[in-house]
Structure 1
Amino acid sequence: MEQPPSFALERRTIEHIPASERHGRPWHQLALWFSNNVQINTLIIGAVPVGMGLGLTWSIISILVGNLVGALFMAYHSAQGPQLGLPQMVQSRAQFGFYGALLPSVMVVLMYLGFAVEGGLVAGQAIATWAHLPKPLGIVVFNVVLLLIPLVGYRLIHAASRVVAVISGVAFLALFVRLLPQLPSHPPGPTTHSLGVVVSAISVCVAWQVTWAPYVSDYSRYLPENTPTRVTFSYTYLGSAVGGALTMVIGAMAATVNSDAVNSDAIGFLADRFPSFAGLVVAALLLGLVPAGAEGPYGAFLTALSALSAEGRVRSTATARALFVLCFAALASALAILSSGSLLDTFQNITLFVLYLLVPWTAINLTDYYFVRHGHYDIPELLTKNGRYGTFTWWAVLVYLVSIAAELPFINSSAYVGPLVRSLGGADLSWLVGLIVGAVGYYAGTKLFADRRPRPVAPGLVRS
């Protein structure tokens, strides 16, 4: 069947994608998640370990470990997409109930806003500098330019990512080659290799990868249902882990060369590495922000709709998405304009804050999918308000909240330091605690409270 072009408006929201509309190839996931990670925001996350006091060698070790571990979770979420044909947060109804899923959905919308603010801060500063505009206007210009892609939807996001993957790959390779000889023999300023700081730096990198988890399957849900789980997982993992790790290493290199310049105007600093082609570098780096930036309002729309509507049906999908995207862009612009302080601190705090909220959710979701239900869900019932998955699974919500509470003593950020951090040498182990408490607590809850007795359904309604 002939497929519509990439610029055709998407008609679906959170409904199940039928077999007749499935399309795409698994390697498209590699291009999408490579382009999402090979961008300036990822580079700035890579500068954070240097800003925490680590030398380049230990920063690189932290970056590699963090990305290789963190990408495991998001890739396992991605593998759910072809099997279920649903956005990620709709599937959370199976764990929390229809109304219970409101809680993680609100957290995810906050995550989208946080990363939209990050993108606006970085891109707005660059646009303002190179176009000689006030910074607030630069932020607004960036968010306005982003609007086109989420208005069109899924196909254009994938098409744009494949183009940007090539451009960003070339740009960041050139930056690596240019920065390498500029690295000082002895990095300036104090450095530390203490285990606690290394663990905290790893946590920041894990956080970056885990933040993709609530919407990674939104971009694999159109793949054919017979796509093997291992194939979807592998392409997603490779694109995200490799793209994220390599870009963060370049960020650590840039911060080692001049941390203050990266902190104040990262794009401007990188563009200055190529004085004769500075404008092209700025354009390439801004373009690299487009796929991930566009996914923010698009994913927030799907998440909000999953929280408010059983089946996600609206009178006009295009109109509803347009109104939401416009409001989202306006709010993200306002928050970015009001933000102040160190760019590296802002990125670290937002990323870690999101991690603290998302790790318990990802633990519960993955435990339910892979260890409790083994990928078998009644799709029509997920899209029914008073269906078999219930309206409010109190014990699952309790496990989620308890998991977050269990993280608090182990948090180490510039905004808050838990009481047990000092005894751990400054290590931030909160995400690991949240992961264990969430997974074990949810699995125990299914044995104690959940009614797993099968109910009769028509053939073809249960998908695995």
Structure 2
Amino acid sequence: MAPDRIFWSHFSPNLAPAAWVIGVLVVSLGLSGWRAFVVVLAGNVLGALPVAACAAMGPDTGLPQMEASRFSFGSTGKRLPALINWVNCIGWDAVNNVPSAVALILLARIGGIEVPFWLAMAALALAQLLASAAGHDTVQTIEKYLGWILLAAFAFSGWMAVTHRPQGGPAAMPQPADAAHILLALGATSSFTLAWTAYASDYTRYVSRHTGRGKVFALTFGGIFSSAMLMESFGLLTGAMIASPSPESVILSLQTWMGPLAPVALAAIALSSIAINAANDNTAAYALISAGSRIPRPLSAVLTAGLAYMLAVMGEGRFTTLYENALLMALYWIAPWCGIVLTDWYARPPCLQQGRMTTPPGWSPSATLFVAVTGITILMFSSTPLYTSPVAHMLQGADIGYLVGFALAAGGQYLILRQQAHRSRPTSTKADQT
């Protein structure tokens, strides 16, 4: 696999209205100017670094990301996070398609054609399904060439939005942000990119081992960081003029600001879900296999796309309450999982280095650690519309669950490795001591 595909695989999926919404959200929390830019910059660095570190595992393991976690979680233990990731992929599939379906309906309406929601969703789901079922190489080819198209379209749309937007808007400027709102903005920004850790090595595992970890790391980090910063910066610059931090508000605002050139932005938004969900469906298929399913990969992709389609159509009109809240809770597992996997891979004591790619049988202590830390993170630190933890209440709604979950899991995994290293040392005999 050509190394440049690493960049495009992590760049193109973030060229989507969801990233623009993150920037609008930061503004709605009361941040503006350089303060907002620094928070978005810091959040993207925090989120992109673990993704790049996971991606750098790919050439050595030759495995998809969830399957590679078997080295720490065990042959049975890795099935739980893999199953959670598959369910998460179904939800993301539906969430990513709804804004694109809205854009497709508006685009068709400009041409005098009324397209029902279910048909717009079906067209998008079919295009994504064909791409993901065709396999890894097709997905990465789509990411590369569609990435150029999306970059040009969104760059033009963003320039038009920033320079031609009206001087008045529907949204009132919020009050200046306090520490709690800054933490909320940092958490939202970092979690958006951190979610890609579960996908990272899926699109680096066919790179030659001679490419070097540093190059794989840099290409991954550059791809995910630059695309997220670009789209979120547009959100920062236009956030005060958008009614609410939602994909629908962003789409309608762009359509208004661009006037007769609105089809450019609408087409880019419609196409963006293909870049995201082609990779998403492919990763979901890998995850379902790692969870223990014997369904062939192409059929796994079909199953994922089909369930996501039904979920989106059944939930029409309840997009925010039905999907976004559930997905926010689902993200809490990623930080502990990532902390365990990265610590096991990069922080092994020298005496355990040779066993780095040995799969422990059954359910390992790391899998138990994962369940415990995920539960603690949700119960004590999470802040979502579904549930607000005691610590989040004390911090006025600020969410530090991702940071705490990663730190607790990484620290716990390091202690497990130290204990394993201690047990692996040969016991000294009296003769040896003499």
Q: What TM-score does the superposition give when structure 1 sets the normalisation length?
A: 0.82
Cα offset for 1:45? 2.9
Deviations 1:393-440 (A, max 9, x none): 1x2122112211221322122221111223224321111110111011
Q: Is the 8 A contact 1:45 1:348 kept in 2?
A: no
Cα distance change of structure 1 residues 185 and 56 upon mapping to structure 2, 3 Å threshold: farther
Deviation at 1:224, TM superposition (A): 0.4
Structure 2 unaligned runs (5+)?
Answer: 109-113, 426-434
Give the match for residue 24 of structure 1.
2
Contact kept, 8 Å, 1:40 with 1:289, in 2: the verdict is: no
Q: Contact 1:263–1:342 at 8 Å: present in 2 too? A: no
Query: 2:346 corresponds to which letter in structure 1?
Result: Y
Distance 1:50 1:223 in 2: 40
Which residue is 1:241 aligned to? Answer: 225
For 1:353, which of 329, 334, 339 is the aligned residue? Answer: 329
2:429 pairs with 1:429: no
Are the equivalent residues in 2 in contact too, given 1:360–1:435 (CA < 8 A)? yes
Corresponding residue number in structure 1 for 2:214: 230
Aligned to 1:339: 315
- 1:253 equivalent to 2:229? Answer no
Distance in 1, matches of 2:354 and 2:322, equals: 40
Give 1:165's aligned residue.
147
CA distance in 2, matches of 1:123, 1:302: 25
User: CA 1:215 to 1:64, structure 2 compared with 1: closer, same or farther past 3 Å?
Assistant: same
Among candidates 410, 428, 432, match of residue 439 of structure 1 = 410
Find the residue that maps to 1:155 and give its secondary structure. helix
Deviation at 1:376, TM superposition (A): 5.1
The aligned amino acid for 1:103 is L
Deviations 1:374-401 (A, max 9, x none): 775575x54xxxxxx11111x2122112
Give the Cα separation in 2 of the matches to 1:289 and 1:368: 34
Q: Hey, what's the Cα distance between the residues in 1 that align with 2:394 and 2:122?
A: 45
- For 2:301 and 2:259, locate their aligned partners in 1 and report how far apart those are by CA, in whole Å: 37
Given that residues 168 and 288 in structure 1 are in contact (C-alpha distance below 8 angstroms), is that contact kept between their aligned partners in structure 2?
yes
What amino acid is aligned across from residue 137 of structure 1 in structure 2?
L
Q: Normalising by structure 2, report the TM-score.
A: 0.87
Richer in helix (by share): 2
Mapped partners of 1:146, 1:120: distance in 2: 10
Q: Match for residue 92 of structure 1? A: 69
Q: Which residue of 1 aligns with 2:264?
A: 280
Give the Å deviation of 1:53.
Answer: 4.8
Check if 1:44 corresponds to 2:21. Answer: yes
- In structure 2, the CA distance between the partners of 1:243 and 1:356, relative to structure 1 (3 Å rule), is same
Q: In structure 2, do the counterparts of structure 1 residues 63 and 197 end up closer, same or farther at CA, with 3 Å as the change threshold? A: same
- How many Å apart are 1:352 and its aligned residue? 3.1
CA distance in 1, matches of 2:243, 2:323: 14
How far apart are residue 265 of structure 1 and its match? Answer: 5.0
Contact 1:51 1:259 in 2 (8 A): no
- Assess, with a 3 A threshold, how the Cα gap between structure 1 residues 225 and 150 changes in structure 2: closer, same or farther: same
Whether the aligned pair in 2 keeps the contact of 1:406 and 1:433 (CA below 8 Å) is: no
Q: Which residue of 2 aligns with 1:3?
A: none
Distance 1:324 1:96, change over 3 A: same
CA distance in structure 2 between the partners assigned to 1:417 and 1:426 by the alignment: 7
Alignment size in residue pairs: 415
Q: CA deviation at 1:274?
A: 2.4
Matched, 1:409 2:380: yes
Q: Which amino acid aligns with 1:416?
A: Y
Relative to structure 2, which stretch is displaced further, 397-406 or 56-65? 56-65
Relative to 1, partners in 2 of residues 1:266 and 1:337: Cα closer, same or farther, differing over 3 Å? farther
State the alpha-carbon separation in 1 of the partners of residues 232 and 318 from structure 2. 18
Q: Name the SS for the 1:308 alignment partner.
A: coil
Secondary structure, counterpart of 1:274 in structure 2: helix
Moved more, 241-250 or 136-145: 136-145
- Structure 2 SS opposite 1:223: coil
Contact 1:120 1:332 in 2 (8 A): no
CA contact (8 A) 1:116 1:293 kept: yes
Deviation at 1:370, TM superposition (A): 0.1
Instruction: Give the structure 2 partner of residue 18 of structure 1.
Output: none
